Structure 1
Amino acid sequence: MQHYSPPPPHVTHPGVVAREITDKFASAVKKLEPGELVKDENFTLFEAVSALEIMDPKMDSGFLAEGESLDEEYDVSRDLLPEEILGIIDQLLCLETLLTSVYVEAILNPTPTEITEADFTRDPELRDKQPKLLFILRAYCVGLLKACHFVNELVKAEHYYEVSIRRSGRVLDSRSADLTNEVPVDISTALDIRLELRIALLRAIDLMSMGNVNADSLKTPWIQMRVLLDHFDKQHSIAKAVPEAFSTKLQRRLASTMPPRPIVQTSFEETTSHFKQLFQDGIDITDVLKYSDPQSLLTFVATFQARKPQPLVFIRSLLQTLLIKDRVVLGTYDARQIIDQDLALTVLPWGKQIDPSYVNVEVPSDPRHQIAAQMANFRARVTEPYLDIFRIFCQNRCRVRRTLCHSIHEWDMLQAEVEEIDLLLQVTLDERPLTTDRGDLGYRLPLSSWAYLYKLRQMEWIVQLGFELAIYQPDELAGMYWYLNYLAKTRAQHGDRIKAFTSRALSQERQAGGYTAARDREYMHSLSYIRATMLDAACTWEFADGLCCLYTTLQRLGLVRPFGPQPRPYSDDERRYRIRTRPFVAIALPQLPMFDEFTRAVSQPETGIPDLLKYAGSAIAGARKGYEALAKLPDQQAFCVRSGDRWRADVNGCQKAAIAAGVAVTQLAKAFDVAAGIVDGGEGELAAEGEESLDVGLRVEFPEPGKGYHDWWIVPRLIPTSSEKKST
């Protein structure tokens, strides 16, 4: 092959001499061993990649065309028409960013130290000569900067600092009231509404920072913003765009500037729709302050975070701030109050362990003092893990699952530690074990039972979010639904155990003197929760069991195959099982099944396809009836106060998924019977070569993520194929 020597580059810049180094570079490279890396501590990977991208206009944001200036040549003191100011403001609203606006850059560079310096020019003489209407744009930019700053601080620290929010608001107020008569009324109204929107947003952030504010007061600025936004679409037509007021060159000041980031062009209609959802979310999160009980609070947070489209991180950060700030819950309650109410609701109605009067007993030998001391140790240990559950559900869905995988290990250790406290309290309270017709249930152990219940719920959430986030391959669905069934069955059994001890305590209270209406309400409230959680666990148990049988049948018939190449070159069933169950390996209870046990439970080799489908149909029908009963529960008994609509929509989605799954089972059973009859000449017996050889004339389609009836229940669609009818 003839050696190719590229021509020297054409360099027009004076003072630059081009030199050919290709041969020298090739000679130096030949001296390196294969795979050898040359590392220079003063030449980092970032710089190496940057060097490769130098002078590439698609990758080098510092690349300048012939005659192009490095800085943006735009006069921020130029006179603007009122409709041009409106156009710039609307474009800023579409971007909601500080990276591409020439006017925002002029305010920030150099960084102002006080509000009076936040202007397009720092020279007092030039400032006095600015066009009069620029103060409107300046006021809007100041409001935008303030809002972005506090949103950034909120997201980073989950709280914000008391600085000049109110002062910024006064600047906006004074400017919005100073529109002159020379501006047409329609444009003047449009500009005023946009400034009012910025004022309302700053006021909303200001109220959030105060703490212990009435929910209706917090809701007011969000409602105002939603009303103001309704006028934007009608007024946008009179705005005139000024594209030269925005430039990608401003992004060169970022820490990472490669590749060049284009200015995102968002339609105004899409922007207003986005902000309407933002303001509606802001209205909705204020209802979290209307507290009723801990389980309703958890339902509120979980269902709000799961809504679609998912609330922005700003809104979720606001929710987290309202929930927990400086270890104060909802701005009013101490963490101890919430934990004690949760214990009373789930495992300890009217329990001596959470009697607040015991704290006042100071005699060390008094059992009440000993109980209070042990419960103080318990609360000190569980407060952070307990509050973290609420914090976790303020993250995005992927982060929720990832954090729960760490949280269950914390709760596993917590369960073991609080069991020791249970044993100490058991001696102090002189508790007795419980024996029923089902056998010996042992001691009550309420604190560790409470921790175990929360751990089981988190383990279920991890598996369910795996379905929602499309983590599992199609041929893994049967196994993961079996494991979900295993966890839900364990939770139902644990709920039954808690119910037995609560019923015994209720019977003892009624037999003893002093049983009051208040005690009866607390016991009935606790039993309502136990019934609701057992019904929820039973629905999950039955539905997961039915889908496991359905997918096992589809795999036997060869209708479910994994994505990607076959066979899989780097994995087998056991390795995939280890990967999927890695978060649960170290959990003591419930113990993770061994792979052989798991495989046998999922495949059910001793059960024929007709029996599998029969059991699947029965289990799914039971789940459908259970969801129907759940949906009919009032908010107080379903523990979804303030979030009943969202919770009920979720349950209805599960019910619809169960109906669709029942239809799929029936369709597959009929197709299987037809195929079996065809094979044996219409007698309905299977072919000698077995069930797996049958062609049922169906193919399987899976709904796209987020397109099914419910994200946690992946119901396949069975579609007849052209091979359904065969010649005999």
Structure 2
Amino acid sequence: MENECSHSCSWKLFGNWIDITPKFQEAVKDLKLGQLLHDDLFGLFDAMTAIEMMDPKMDAGMLCNRGIRKIVSFDQAVQDNILKLEGFSYKEIIGIIDSTFACLVSWLEGHSLAQTVFINLYLHKPYMIGDRTLKAFCLAMYKLLEVIKDLVHNGMVYEEEDFQPMQYGYHLNPDISEQRMIGMLREVEEDLHRKTRSQPNHEIHAVFGRIKFLRIFLQVLISCFRKEDQPPISESHRLLNSCLDMLYIIQNTVGLGIKSEDPENEYILGFEPSINHRLLPPTFPRYTKIKSRHEAITYFIEMAERFKIVSKIQLITSLHQALDFFIDFSKSSPCILSRSALQLMYSRSFPANLKDILRESVKSFICPPALLSKTLLNNPEAKHYVDTFLSHCSRPFINFLQLCGHNRARQRDKLAHILEEFTSLQDEAERVDAYLHNLSVNSSLSRPHIACFGTWILYHTLRIMIMYLLAGFELELYSVHEFYYIYWYLYEFLYGWLISALSRADSFLVENELLNELHKNKGTSKKKPKYKKKARPYNKDIIYLQALQNMCGGYYKALMGFRLEGKLTMPHPRFDSEQIRYEHRFAPFQNLLTPPPVVYSEFREMTSFERFQQQPVDSVFLYIAGCKHFHQARQLLESIIPDNEITDLLTICKTNFIVLKLLAGGHKKDSLKQPEFDFSRSKYFSIIKIS
């Protein structure tokens, strides 16, 4: 070692070294923060794969290879009397439990077990622990890890950035059954409860709350998401409410646990962050920041609230309602465990024959005459066509449900792929509809079967297309200068087609209800029966979609006005092609039959100012047109019973209406450089700011 050092020093001493710092500072003085310099020998790929040396987040060796303190294993720490196995104070137990919960949450957020949970040395050999409470807790953590790993694996909605199932040689299945493990926790819990009754103590009560939470949490995962016979929703909510009660106790007492006294080491005794670095693969280790104790308890509280929502899926039988439930739940960006739980709970309650659910879904959506007529249902060939079509629909709809369980970024990629499956379904639906229509005409049915299956598939296809485009706003993929053709596509085509499909289904349902009443009243009276005006089943949905369509129209007109006035920063033509960007954004739509894709040349023609009747078209005209759209959207939204989403959209419409009205009147026409778009109220629709 001494020879190596002397050799290295002599090489540094006699080598021809040049200090490049001044030259480097001179070369980059014109670059702003975040800008990159492109060179033939150092492109974007090299920049992305380069490691920023000595940055703790990029170079994990800065933290794990400093050599300031010695890393000791469990056996060595016990042998040196550094780690005690019994005689713990309640503050020490609270600190160990809360720190372990923080490590567990960090694992659930995508870090490895070796760098999170198993930095707790007490988990390495739990059977050697003498303290009964801590021993039961450590063994229960093993069981909890096993249950969570199975749930996430069976849910099949995780990606590498969501969850790391690798065990790094640790055996997660201790020789204790689930029921025995719950029994052990209950025994410790009862012992602590007796102590609090004989000698009331805040710290004992805090430990009691943590042990009871762990026991109930295990019961929730085991009973609700792993057994074939799920408990009723009331039982699930009872367990979850008890779980929340304990979490609030933990939250209020989280400051009681011991904390590290060493300013250079934030971990308490028994937690060694570098103990498992030899188990990691031979790549640059991922920098892991363990969550704080307060953040971990908040994470568990939010998870318990989400589980209460997830348990409601047991009450849903309709496929359309289930899809809406999955989509709405996904918008809240839930954790991997609750996403997996939703997939498992719904799949367990799903019938074996998916064709029956799909058939009922079509009936409830548009009520096709072919599925109601006994004449057609008794026709073997017609029955074969319908059954074959529904069988082909099974896989895409299962994939759609599963897709909603992935994280938001992965969903967008998978939406593009699932559109390919719905393209083939559109073609098959048209053929089945044509055959059933001819059959219904020859059978002299009261209503012909016209494009019913096609409308049903089109409705879901359009929803997927809209989800795909809106996801770009949520993930911040679009530049501001791209907004206008995204909103234009939504305004001119997708929302219009979706409203048309829903209106068609609405008419079919109302017509079928009237025919049923006519048959019911037939022969009962000679007087002509009086029919009440039927409520439109999809009226609320249509009004909501019309409001969103008008909002998109308002943004499109406003952005066109900004472009006309030169208020938007546009990329340099030498490095940019709008046609390439446009074709890239709408690439997944190119193979669809309905609605037909709009190529760039058609888009340019349809958005030219010559289409407007008023000549010449100026920015004031566009701002006034945008005002009208936002005003119309506001009126439509006010006719719907408000919820949180409707209230936010109303605020956006009112604000944007005022902003565009001011711009139309010439407000800040010369001083305004570039408008701002604030997406804090909604992920897809922004408040336009001109200050």
Structure 2 counterpart SS, 1:210: coil
Q: Which residue matches 1:622?
A: 632
Does the aligned pair in 1 maintain the 2:92–2:257 contact within 8 Å?
Answer: yes
Q: Which residue matches 2:471?
A: 465
Structure 1 counterpart SS, 2:690: strand
Give 1:285 shift: 1.5
| Counterparts in 2 of 1:254 and 1:430: CA distance versus 1, 3 Å | farther
Give 1:622 shift: 1.3
Does the aligned pair in 2 maintain the 1:176–1:195 contact within 8 Å?
Answer: yes
Matches within 5 A, 1:521-560: 528-560=536-568
Q: Which residue matches 1:404?
A: 415
* Aligned with residue 217 of structure 1, among 213, 227, 235: 235
Q: Which residue matches 1:203?
A: 219
| Counterparts in 2 of 1:89 and 1:446: CA distance versus 1, 3 Å | same
Q: Which amino acid aligns with 2:505?
A: I
Does the aligned pair in 1 maintain the 2:203–2:256 contact within 8 Å?
Answer: yes
* Aligned with residue 246 of structure 1, among 266, 271, 281: 271
Does the aligned pair in 2 maintain the 1:538–1:623 contact within 8 Å?
Answer: yes
- Aligned equivalents of 1:524 and 1:269: distance in 2? 59
| Counterparts in 2 of 1:271 and 1:238: CA distance versus 1, 3 Å | same
1:145 correspondence with 2:137: no
1:428 correspondence with 2:439: yes
| Counterparts in 2 of 1:366 and 1:380: CA distance versus 1, 3 Å | closer
Q: How many residues align?
A: 603
* TM score, norm. by length of structure 2: 0.77
Q: Which residue matches 1:380?
A: 391
RMSD (Å) for aligned C-alpha atoms:
4.2
Give 1:352 shift: 4.4
Q: Which residue matches 1:491?
A: 498
- Aligned equivalents of 2:407 and 2:345: distance in 1? 17
Partner deviation per Cα, 1:493-536 (whole Å, 9 max, x = no partner): 233333444455455545446789xxxxxx99997333233323
Unaligned runs of 5+ residues in structure 1 are 1-6, 25-33, 36-47, 110-118, 122-129, 359-364, 435-440, 517-522, 633-647, 676-694, 720-728
- Aligned equivalents of 1:419 and 1:136: distance in 2? 66
Give 1:276 shift: 1.5
Does the aligned pair in 2 maintain the 1:8–1:18 contact within 8 Å?
Answer: no
- Aligned equivalents of 2:8 and 2:132: distance in 1? 51
Give 1:581 shift: 0.9
Matches within 5 A, 1:301-380: 301-307=326-332, 310-325=333-348, 328-329=349-350, 335-348=354-367, 351-353=369-371, 367-380=378-391
Does the aligned pair in 2 maintain the 1:61–1:252 contact within 8 Å?
Answer: no
Give 1:193 shift: 1.6
Give 1:62 shift: 7.0
| Counterparts in 2 of 1:445 and 1:148: CA distance versus 1, 3 Å | same
- Aligned equivalents of 1:370 and 1:542: distance in 2? 45
Structure 1 counterpart SS, 2:538: helix
Relative to structure 2, which stretch is displaced further, 448-457 or 86-95?
86-95
* Aligned with residue 269 of structure 1, among 294, 308, 311: 294
Does the aligned pair in 2 maintain the 1:552–1:603 contact within 8 Å?
Answer: no
Partner deviation per Cα, 1:134-159 (whole Å, 9 max, x = no partner): 22112112222222222222222218
Does the aligned pair in 1 maintain the 2:678–2:686 contact within 8 Å?
Answer: no
1:88 correspondence with 2:88: no
Give 1:574 shift: 0.7
Relative to structure 2, which stretch is displaced further, 278-287 or 502-511?
502-511
1:608 correspondence with 2:626: no
Give 1:198 shift: 0.8
Q: Which residue matches 2:671?
A: 697
Q: Which amino acid aligns with 1:596?
A: S
| Counterparts in 2 of 1:66 and 1:504: CA distance versus 1, 3 Å | closer
Q: Which amino acid aligns with 2:61?
A: M
Q: Which residue matches 2:5?
A: 10
- Aligned equivalents of 1:569 and 1:255: distance in 2? 46
Relative to structure 2, which stretch is displaced further, 577-586 or 89-98?
89-98
Does the aligned pair in 2 maintain the 1:482–1:545 contact within 8 Å?
Answer: yes
Structure 2 counterpart SS, 1:430: helix
* Aligned with residue 235 of structure 1, among 242, 253, 268: 253
1:390 correspondence with 2:401: yes
Does the aligned pair in 1 maintain the 2:119–2:273 contact within 8 Å?
Answer: no
Does the aligned pair in 1 maintain the 2:630–2:656 contact within 8 Å?
Answer: yes
Structure 2 counterpart SS, 1:671: coil
Q: Which residue matches 1:59?
A: 61
1:188 correspondence with 2:204: yes
- Aligned equivalents of 2:448 and 2:342: distance in 1? 41
Give 1:250 shift: 2.1
Structure 2 counterpart SS, 1:716: strand
Does the aligned pair in 2 maintain the 1:546–1:615 contact within 8 Å?
Answer: yes
| Counterparts in 2 of 1:446 and 1:95: CA distance versus 1, 3 Å | same
Give 1:557 shift: 0.7
- Aligned equivalents of 2:339 and 2:218: distance in 1? 17
Give 1:478 shift: 1.0
Q: Which residue matches 1:158?
A: 155
| Counterparts in 2 of 1:524 and 1:616: CA distance versus 1, 3 Å | farther
Give 1:277 shift: 1.2
Q: Which residue matches 2:23?
A: none
- Aligned equivalents of 1:419 and 1:205: distance in 2? 45
Does the aligned pair in 1 maintain the 2:151–2:226 contact within 8 Å?
Answer: no
Structure 2 counterpart SS, 1:631: coil
1:449 correspondence with 2:452: no
| Counterparts in 2 of 1:664 and 1:467: CA distance versus 1, 3 Å | same
Relative to structure 2, which stretch is displaced further, 654-663 or 595-604?
595-604
Partner deviation per Cα, 1:607-629 (whole Å, 9 max, x = no partner): 33333222222222111111222
